[in-house]
Structure 1
């Protein structure tokens, strides 16, 4: 009979599109996973993957095996997690997929007290700005805004219920270039632009008394919003241009006088983020504990 760990390795590789992807999720090395799959193929006497130097794809046999194993392994995981109900405190691993803004503005207020309350839970936070399939990414839950939420997910509020985008510049920049009076004026200013890892470069949006203005910001500096957003703030503080980010992100710099708010009455508001997870009757104990804990935090 095939080893259960080898079966798990096969499912991870098939689900995450290759040995490297599975290694990032499971914590095992790509070579360990490759050896486990070879053992399983030898045990079954059939090839489960077609391998090239650039890709790994399940064969027809591998795809059929994955279809049969996925619900079975899910049932095993659920059965093993039932034991958590007999512990004084839940234990296990919880993996969250969150955008950079949530890691900076939401989780710092939640994670430390949560880990103090549940010391036997290992929390792993994966930060990326693109929307991912939770199951394929190996995550149990995620944080996203309403516009990028999957329809079949359960969502509960997490973090502030209303947020705003803010515009600011340093006193030095304002002294040299002046202060914009209307969003249209931004077309004459140096703007620090942001790009998502998908390649999209979102425009700057403003609204006031039912009127809205969208500005295609322009400037010599472009930063990755998923990894280098702090660079945009640092550059703005140094006088390199105008920065457009979450109000909570810029507020400490405004409070210290390093940045000055601009066009404040035009700052657009939007609904805060949500914690989302698959809508199923049974939740693993670490995820259930996190969901319950999030609902006790007041913003």
Structure 2
């Protein structure tokens, strides 16, 4: 057995983790640029060398055995350390190289993260970027990612977190002007129970909550959705709201262009709840050169936004007000 273990290859262990992360041989093969048959063969060879089954294969899924799960838990941080070390050595030439793999919630892919990625790729042409989009909470190290982007309530306590994108956001409510013209304008959140609701559902199955705040009063509603759409198709839900299908609740920054265009009108804007924007979180111990460069870019962008905000406030007339939360 010892001789078998001495002949283990790092590539084979990487393939094993890729199968677990992708949930199957085909996904791992596509990510690694191999054939599914080659991936299956490598896993079979690895199991033979170790002397224990690592994966449970069914026609629909691949899951880890107890031995496989224990091996993956030990391997993931070690391979992450190895990748970080290799990328740091490659960066000695003062040109950042390697891969940056981010695990992000879909909410930041609409208008926050793409501009940052565009600038990052221009600044560092030797870096490859992979974005894994999912709303479920994952262990970013075990998932083979360098960092994650989530909202504050989802952050692991042992991770460093820095703001990215908007410092604050609001959940806004909106409907088409023609829809509101045909119905009584809501004066209180509970009035919305008499309206057609367009509800969004997370990939976990939970509905996006309808919550309202004004002063000391807080209201939470769970209206039956006349139309329910997954959050991944939020742009389609917004378009349907613009067509008069009902009232929608989603991020204010997603709805702002539609407000400016007149396709949607705000509903109960005094009741929109405000919350902290997303955070980029990562382990300081596993900071690769590409991740360090990305963190630096995020910090520079935050400083630029603060400077623009201060200038905008200075330019406001004394009687002016800022209605954005």
* Cα distance in 1 between the residues matched to 2:175 and 2:51: 66
1:254 maps to which residue? 259
Rate the CA distance shift 1:121–1:176 in 2: closer, same or farther, 3 A.
same
Runs (5+) with no aligned partner, structure 2: 1-6, 306-325
Shift of 1:48: 4.2
Q: Aligned to 2:116, which of 93, 110, 114?
A: 110
Query: Are the structure 2 counterparts of residues 267 and 75 from structure 1 closer, same or farther at C-alpha, using a change threshold of 3 Å?
Result: closer
After TM superposition, the structure 1 stretch with the greater mean CA deviation from structure 2, 59-68 or 27-36, is 59-68
Instruction: From 161, 171, 184, give the equivalent of 2:167.
Output: 161
Aligned equivalents of 1:154 and 1:188: distance in 2?
Answer: 44
SS at match of 2:42: helix
Aligned to 2:250: 245
Contact map agreement 1:47 1:59 (CA 8 A) in 2: yes
- Cα deviation, 1:33-87, whole Å, max 9, x if unaligned, reads 2121223345556654454445545556656655665565445334322322322
TM superposition outliers: structure 1 runs of 4+ over 6 Å: none
Once the two structures are superposed, the pairs formed by residues 91-240 of structure 1 within 5 Å of their partners are 91-225=97-231, 227-240=232-245
What is the alpha-carbon distance in structure 2 between the residues aligned to residue 49 and residue 101 of structure 1?
33
Is the alpha carbon distance of 1:213 and 1:43 closer, same or farther for their aligned partners in structure 2, counting shifts above 3 Å? Answer: closer
Aligned equivalent of 2:270, options 243, 265, 269: 265
Aligned-pair CA distance for 1:88:
2.9
Q: Distance in 1 between matches of 2:67 and 2:213?
A: 56
Note the C-alpha offset of 1:197.
1.2
Report how many residues are paired.
Answer: 297
Aligned mate of 1:283, from 278, 283, 287:
287
- Which residue matches 1:39? 45
More divergent stretch after superposition (31-40 vs 59-68): 59-68
Post-superposition CA distance 1:242-271 (Å, at most 9, x none): 111111100100001111111111111011
Counterpart secondary structure, 1:142: strand
Alignment of 1:6-21 (within 5 A): 6-13=12-19, 18-20=24-26
Match of 1:296 in 2: 300
The alpha-carbon distance between structure 1 residues 267 and 57, as it changes in their structure 2 partners (threshold 3 A), is closer
Q: TM-score, normalised by structure 1?
A: 0.89
Contact 1:25 1:137 in 2 (8 A): no
> Which residue of structure 2 lines up, in the alignment, with residue 80 of structure 1?
86
In the aligned structure 1, how far is the partner of 2:46 from the partner of 2:278? 42
Three-state SS of the structure 2 residue aligned to 1:228 is helix
Deviations 1:212-243 (A, max 9, x none): 11111223200001x11111101110000011
How big is the shift at 1:109?
2.7
Flag structure 1 segments of 5+ consecutive residues without an equivalent: none
Contact 1:16 1:137 in 2 (8 A): no
CA contact (8 A) 1:16 1:136 kept: no
